[in-house]
Structure 1
Amino acid sequence: MPEHRDLILREFARQADAFEDDRINASFTRYLGRLIDFVAPTATDVCLDVACGTGLVARALAGEVRHVTALDMTPEMLATGKASADAEGATNVVFQEGDATRLPFLAGSFSLVVTRFSLHQVSDPSAVVAELLRVCRPGGRVVIADLVRKPDLPGDPDRVERLRDPSHGTMQTVEEIRGLLPAVQAADVFDVPRPLSIWLEQSRTPAEVAGQIEEELRRELSGGPATGMRPMVVEDALWFTQTWAHLRSAGC
């Protein structure tokens, strides 16, 4: 059985190109402005984007802050992101390989620390959040943006997420994430409807597994067991619904 870290490296190495493909990464980019507004960056901020993927958040922050370090443990993600940053002329972004549970920085190194879509991937979210807080300067901000689980939702969305991407861990509830932070200054929680076919293509899910997921969602629409994915049909296409949350903690 592969270690969870190995699963993450394998799956995201395969997905690196998809993160920069405008045809299939629309869900990541459509709400990116909403996240940046929520982060409220300033021109003096020195930022860290943890588990950055291809650095979509880091590159969006680059024009608003003094400097951004984009950290991820998947070399293919970093290489893809750096190529895009270079093409965009972003000269204040540095890409660095590293583990979110052991950040290679001294305490208090950054005034703004951001992570997007990382907690549901890792085996120990509390260890990641502890590191985010450790490297944040006194008076700085930590922002966590992630998929979240609604506690009263029937079905098991994590099971379906793992079918689609075996590196998926466990989604937290908003309250569970709040419990990892010293003080939550602001929160933004919203539902995100997504087309199933694009979601499966983005993760390079094998056809047999993709077919199983589609069958389960269609069965739910016909009165079958709840999957937790909240499926719907939009213009004859199968969609599902995720809940995303942005939380900002003040006073690291």
Structure 2
Amino acid sequence: MTESHDAKVVREFSKQAAGFADPGRNEAFTRHLDRLVKFMDPELDLEDVVLEVAAGTALVSRAIARRVRHVTALDLTPAMLAEGKRAVDRDGVTNVTFAHGDAAALPYLDRSFTLVVTRFSLHQAADPKAVVKEMERVSRPGAAIFVADLVRPDDLDGDPDRIERLRDPSHGTILTEAQIAELATGAGAEVKRAERFEVVRPLEPWLDFSGTPEDVRATIRRELRDELGGGPPTGMRPSERDGELHFTHSLLFLHAIAG
């Protein structure tokens, strides 16, 4: 029987869950969290009822919990939710609720939340259009919707999804900024502002975090080095610093208003 995409996500992120609880290993995920919170800041309110979609260990929920009334952190992977619950219990945060569920079929009534956010989820989703449509559906009119994700530059050579899937078989598709904006407007929201920036990352910690098998790691290293030597583009924009391979991700923060 062919493994479903959701099953791949649960399998891969169950392996990665412990890494999200380790600040040393999770630096790449936490590095730009403050920047996202600052981007969200104008819309945060002490009366907000918030939903974090595909929340993982609820990094965003935990970062904003003390500035809003309540946050629900929903994710498909129980191991990720368990790590997040341990963290809020340890930190004494009492207004975060954890829920197991599918981002593409949210178990909530229409117009339930005043702010909805998802981070690093659309490139993993089998149906990102459904995820954004659901985010808009459960948002009250005028509510803030935030999407933070990887994006593919319009002029990029090569296919980064191939390397991303080698590293993590649950990876879906990296969208362009325009495609993500179109998902929001197509769902009925109005895009208000966006911020995009580049992040150069060392290769080996990225592979360590996902537990990528050594034979696959060797393939990825070889293809990146081949590109540096004039070979075919991988879409990963490799570079070398002090003998260590790096690559570049483009990140997008998008703010939309629910209709």
- Which TM class, normalised by the smaller chain length? over 0.9
Pairing 1:144–2:147 present: yes
Q: Which runs of 5+ in 2 are unaligned?
A: none
Residue number in structure 2 paired with 1:189: 196
C-alpha separation in 2, matches of 1:189 and 1:214: 27
Query: TM-score normalized by structure 2?
Result: 0.95
**Equivalent residue letter for 1:18:** G
**RMSD value, Cα:** 0.9
Pairing 1:19–2:26 present: no
**Equivalent residue letter for 1:8:** V
The alpha carbon displacement at 1:44 in A equals 1.4
The total of aligned residue pairs comes to: 252
Residue number in structure 2 paired with 1:30: 31
User: Which whole-Å deviations, capped at 9, do the CAs of 1:115-153 have from their partners, x for residues lacking one?
Assistant: 001111111111110100000011111101111111210
**Equivalent residue letter for 1:64:** R
33-42 or 111-120: bigger deviation: 33-42
Q: Is the 8 A contact 2:136 2:258 kept in 1?
A: no
Pairing 1:178–2:181 present: yes
User: Where does 1:50-199 land on structure 2 (aligned, <5 Å)?
Assistant: 50-181=53-184, 182-199=189-206
**Equivalent residue letter for 1:16:** A
C-alpha separation in 2, matches of 1:237 and 1:25: 19
Query: TM-score normalized by structure 1?
Result: 0.98
The alpha carbon displacement at 1:251 in A equals 3.4
Moved over 6 A (4+): none
User: Where does 1:224-243 land on structure 2 (aligned, <5 Å)?
Assistant: 224-243=231-250
Q: Which runs of 5+ in 1 are unaligned?
A: none
**3-state secondary structure, aligned to 1:128:** helix
* Aligned sequence identity (%): 53
**Equivalent residue letter for 2:218:** G
Residue number in structure 1 paired with 2:230: 223
